[in-house]
Amino acid sequence: MAAVSARRRRPTVTLVVFLVVVILLLTIMALSRTWTPKLGLDLSGGTTITLTATNTSGAGTVDQASLEQARTIIQQRVDSLGVGEATVTTTGNNQIQVSAPNVQSDELVSLVGQTALLEFRRVYQVAQAVSYPDGQAIELPSVPASVEPRPTEPSTTLPTDDAGRQSLLTEQLAWTPAATDTTDFSEYQCSDSMPQVWDQPFFACLRSDVSGSQSSGSYKYLLGPRLIEGNLVTTASAGIPQNELSWVVTLSFDSLGGSLFSSATTTLAGATSPTNQFAIVLDGKVISAPSVSNPIPDGSAIIQGSFNQSSATNLANVLKYGSLPLAFEVSNVDTVSATLGGDQLTAGLIAGLIGLILVVIYSVVYYRGLGLVVFTSLVVAFGLTYTLIVLLGQSMSFALSLPGLAGVIVAVGVTADSFVIFFERVRDEAREGRSLRTAVETGWDKARRTIVVADAVSLLSAIILFILSIGAIKGFAFTLGLTTLVDLAMIFFFTKPLVSLLVKTKFFGTGQRGSGFEAEHLGIAATRRPRPRARALANAKEA
């Protein structure tokens, strides 16, 4: 009991500590030199696409590891657009959501809706290349019709029988580049935004994130026709073999892939560098280009190189992606222009301001002087919430969406509910004849349980909604949960200590007119007012 009394007599300390924390958060925001929150696409403009995965193998559920690997590949595709702040996330058990600002919907759908193309091609030329910044690469020159015609790439229509596939592989291995291909290849430069040359000859550049120690764009390749498709890979793994020190990648093919791989490596093993290399290509980028020294007849291979754990694991994941039993359907496309996003943001802010003004007006009319507490608390709560949203945008890439803004506006009502519960309990205690100081403390003891339970229900609802929802609704759930926590912090560490300090003043403590604690306003009869001497003794005892 003594500890409780001591805590009650330290509202100033509680208030000062809380304000110091708020100032510290504002200082962190100032040091980061970011004063505005990160906005979602529905407020800043852009395109959001929801892809739904289905299992082509016939299984009822989508493997989460496959879904995450698909998300990684799609993220790499989106990043190749050169668009900043694009995000790719998994939602639910079978969906991937892609959000990119200032991108046309058709372009984004075309990019992320296609299946990742993993393939194995023969290397014909390798050269060092300068990696140019996006948009500064030299365009591939066109070849006049009068120039020596290029050899026709063997048909890409795959035979359905094994003998036909073997015959096609023989044609693909016999393909050779023309003289003009060599000329064009010497002029080709690497850039992330450079369109890939998908027709023969196939020009591609090295991608560094899964290729070991070499840097991106440091090598360019002239490749031949596709020899083996990525969906023929069954397993791939990274590890350090027994009695070895270096990381390697092991892969295996199905029966058809093993047969084709055996024939291809038999041909490559008898060639000279660089035509004894095969390139592993994902979405037009060379992931690795190992050389073949001996035929590999059993459908399994070990890829060695300058791998560390990260690069070996990434390459294994890329190889496994070629056999993912997933197909994606574009379930939803939302496109918002920057103008419409700005209008929605303005409308949301106006709605929030109107709600704030109405709450303050109601508080002043009904609670009179206590309306100052309501107004001050709402201003501090808004500042704290705004600061947290800005900081979360920097640290966790949280973007404020229109539903998220609605969650912030709803918080005004949640905070107002806490004020009403607290103030009404204080008024009830005062009507029972207690002094105002005692009414504040006993009223708080009874009100805080109700406030905690109400906010706990709101917080639990926000958590469940965040877990089960997809898309922008998550933003509403997140901000609702965040503002509920802010409300708890405000009522415990700001509003209640502030009221405890105010009742120690003459204006509020003696219930003067306009304070909100006057007897007539509380509905206390004049005969029930505490006598001045009794009031003084009660205050002295509490002090």
What is the pTM assigned to this prediction?
A: 0.55
Q: What is the pLDDT of residues 445-464, one digit of tens each?
A: 889 899 999 899 989 998 99
Are residues 443 and 426 in contact, defined by beta-carbon separation less than 8 angstroms?
yes
Q: Is residue 312 part of a domain?
A: yes
Q: Is the same domain home to 50 and 128?
A: no
Q: Is residue 367 part of a domain?
A: yes
Can you tell me the distance from the alpha carbon of 377 to that of 366, in angstroms, rounded to the nearest whole number? 17
Higher pLDDT: 268 or 216? It is 268
Structure tokens at 438: 């005692």
Q: Is the same domain home to 48 and 151?
A: no
pLDDT at 102: 63
- Mean of pLDDT values over 488-501: 90
Are residues 55 and 62 in contact, defined by beta-carbon separation less than 8 angstroms?
yes
Query: How many structural domains is the chain composed of?
Result: 3
Higher pLDDT: 391 or 514? It is 391
pLDDT at 194: 45
What 3-state class would DSSP assign to 89? strand
- Residues near 21 by beta carbon (within 8 Å), at least 6 away in sequence: none
Structure tokens at 222: 């002239």
- Residues near 146 by beta carbon (within 8 Å), at least 6 away in sequence: none
Confidence class for position 206, pLDDT limits 50, 70, 90:
confident
Q: What is the pLDDT of residues 366-381, one digit of tens each?
A: 888 888 888 888 888 8
Residue 204 β-bridge partners: 221
- Residues near 535 by beta carbon (within 8 Å), at least 6 away in sequence: 435, 510
pLDDT at 525: 53
Q: Is residue 199 part of a domain?
A: yes
Q: What is the pLDDT of residues 302-319, one digit of tens each?
A: 887 777 887 788 778 777
Q: Write out the residue range of the structural domain in which residue 346 sits.
A: 2-39+337-542
Q: Is residue 381 part of a domain?
A: yes
Q: Is residue 331 part of a domain?
A: no
Q: Is the same domain home to 379 and 474?
A: yes
Q: Is the same domain home to 248 and 384?
A: no
Q: Is residue 332 part of a domain?
A: no
Residue 95 β-bridge partners: 52, 91
Say what percent of the chain tops pLDDT 70: 77
Q: Is the same domain home to 26 and 90?
A: no
Q: Is the same domain home to 355 and 310?
A: no
pLDDT at 145: 36
pLDDT at 201: 54
Neighbours of 76 (CB within 10 A): 18
Q: Is the same domain home to 207 and 310?
A: yes
DSSP conformation class of 280: E
Q: Is the same domain home to 512 and 450?
A: yes
Higher pLDDT: 459 or 346? It is 459
Edge to edge, the sheet with strand 248-253 lists 233-239, 248-253, 300-304
Q: Which has the closest alpha carbon to 197: 145, 139, 156?
A: 139
Q: Is residue 182 part of a domain?
A: yes
pLDDT at 172: 87
Q: Which amino acid is at 46?
A: G
pLDDT at 131: 57
Q: What is the CATH number of the domain that holds 132?
A: 3.30.1360.200
Cis amide bond preceding 274, omega within 30: yes
Residue 303 β-bridge partners: 249
| Final residue belonging to a domain, choices 58, 86, 111 | 111
Q: Is residue 483 part of a domain?
A: yes
Neighbours of 388 (CB within 10 A): 19
**CA angle centred on 347, ends 466 and 35, rounded to 5°:** 70
- Mean of pLDDT values over 469-497: 85
Q: What is the pLDDT of residues 250-291, one digit of tens each?
A: 888 888 989 999 999 999 999 998 999 988 887 677 888 888
Q: Which helix (H) or strand (E) holds 306?
A: none
Most confident range, picked from 39-53, 483-497, 510-524: 483-497
Are residues 97 and 151 in contact, defined by beta-carbon separation less than 8 angstroms?
no
pLDDT at 134: 46
Owner of token pair 């290399």: 277
Q: What is the CATH number of the domain that holds 97?
A: 3.30.70.3400
Are residues 501 and 493 in contact, defined by beta-carbon separation less than 8 angstroms?
no
Q: What is the CATH number of the domain that holds 528?
A: 1.20.1640.10
Say what percent of the chain tops pLDDT 90: 8
| Final residue belonging to a domain, choices 326, 350, 367 | 326
Q: Is the same domain home to 74 and 177?
A: no
Q: Is the same domain home to 132 and 93?
A: no
Edge to edge, the sheet with strand 95-101 lists 87-91, 95-101, 46-55, 326-336
Q: Is the same domain home to 375 and 298?
A: no
Can you tell me the distance from the alpha carbon of 329 to that of 307, in angstroms, rounded to the nearest whole number? 35
Indicate whether 142 pLDDT > 90. Answer: no
Q: What is the pLDDT of residues 55-67, one digit of tens each?
A: 766 666 787 877 8
Confidence class for position 130, pLDDT limits 50, 70, 90:
low
Can you tell me the distance from the alpha carbon of 77 to that of 283, in angstroms, rounded to the nearest whole number? 8
| Final residue belonging to a domain, choices 326, 353, 380 | 326
Higher pLDDT: 386 or 217? It is 386
Are residues 158 and 227 in contact, defined by beta-carbon separation less than 8 angstroms?
no
pLDDT at 33: 82
pLDDT at 83: 55
Are residues 89 and 96 in contact, defined by beta-carbon separation less than 8 angstroms?
yes
Can you tell me the distance from the alpha carbon of 379 to that of 370, in angstroms, rounded to the nearest whole number? 15
What is the chain's mean pLDDT, rounded? 77
Can you tell me the distance from the alpha carbon of 277 to that of 347, in angstroms, rounded to the nearest whole number? 60
Q: Is the same domain home to 391 and 462?
A: yes
